[in-house]
Amino acid sequence: MSGASGERGVSGERGVRGVRERLSSRVFSLAAVVIAILWTVPTLGLFLSSFRPEAAIKTTGWWTVFGSPHVTLANYREVLFGTGNASGRLADHLVNSIVITLPSVLFPLVLAFLAAYALAWIDFRGRDVLVVGIFALQIVPLQMVLVPLLRLFSRGWLFLPAWNATGAARFSQVWFAHTVFALPVAVFLLHNFLAGLPRDLIEAARVDGASHATLLLRIVLPLARPVLVTFAVVQFVWVWNDLLVAMTLSGGTAGTAPVTVGLAAMAGTRGNEWQRLTAGAFVSAFVPLLVFLLFRRHVAQGLLTGSVKG
């Protein structure tokens, strides 16, 4: 039996090595380069078009900018600050997006981390059933939850009536919705990681008298930092690009609507003014792109965590 299992192990290693060699061959490398170019060219064209004048965009292709480089920042000024004939004022919507996104990332991150630790390292009755239930919640479509949430919010649940004047009620509703939607996935992913931590390390800390708070802050948190950052970045991008929840719960007003709602309104009223739409698209994409670039090293480390054992 041991000889057969050893042969299977050797054959498996050979198979993995063969796959790696094929994926690193010139053919696959060339195919990856071609796919990257095909994926990037439309984005490059959209980016160059955002700096071109309106007349040039509507009469010539974006590639003509290399022959006659006539660029302008008027499109971005109109989109951000509503100068000229534009009424977008995406600068206000950007502030709303930041106010919505940051709490919508922090709340599920903290709650999921605490819940994942409890499910992974605290023994209590019904723990396994609770893990299965959290996993099952991931299959519930978001659209099915919006109607019950709207009914609860319409009855004044979760916020004080005095908040209506400041718009804080709308923000709290969106925060709660994004937190609820993100918790099942966050708890499931963090639980899988925390449950794979070395048991000897946790038990040794317990023998030394470490409490759960000490374990969380001094041992588990430093080890889980790459995974936490990865989830935070993914959740940030998800909430920032959200349109459905924003349209449903923010009320669609300029005082509380995020940038995605502003872009949707701009596309609906100025479907033929491409120069503003291209500029607005890159204004909206700038912040999540910046967040990803700042934390790309942590994201890469978090994605690779657990991929190599031993």
CA distance 153 to 249: 9
Characterise 193 by phi-psi region: left (phi > 0), alpha (psi -120 to 50), beta (else).
alpha
Kindly report the backbone phi and psi dihedral angles of residue 226, in degrees, each rounded to the nearest multiple of 5, phi listed first: -60, -40
Interval 60-88: pLDDT, tens: 888 888 887 888 888 888 888 775 544 56
Q: In CATH, what is the architecture of 90-304?
A: Orthogonal Bundle (1.10)
* pLDDT above 70: percentage of residues in the chain: 78
User: Of 50, 180, 163, which Cα lies nearest the Cα of 112?
Assistant: 180
More confident residue, 36 or 8: 36
C-alpha 308/C-alpha 310 separation (Å) is: 7
What is the DSSP secondary structure assignment for residue 285, as one 8-state letter? Answer: H
CB atoms within 10 A of CB 73: 11
Q: Which of the listed ranges 191-205, 244-258, 290-304 does the model predict with the highest average pLDDT?
A: 191-205
d(Cα 83, Cα 72) in Å, to the nearest integer? 14
Predicted TM-score (pTM) of the model is: 0.78
Query: Using a CB cutoff of 8 Å and minimum separation of 24, what contacts does 268-277 make?
Result: 269/87, 270/86, 273/54, 274/49, 274/57, 274/58, 275/49, 275/50, 275/52, 275/53, 275/54, 275/57, 275/75, 276/75, 276/78, 276/79, 276/86, 276/88
Ranges of each domain in the chain: 2-72, 90-304
Instruction: Tell me which residue has tokens 């900018």.
Output: 65
| pLDDT for 2 | 47
Model confidence band, residue 173 (pLDDT cutoffs 50, 70, 90): confident
What is the torsion angle, in degrees rounded to the nearest 10, for the CA atoms of residue 81, residue 276, residue 53 and residue 290?
Answer: 80
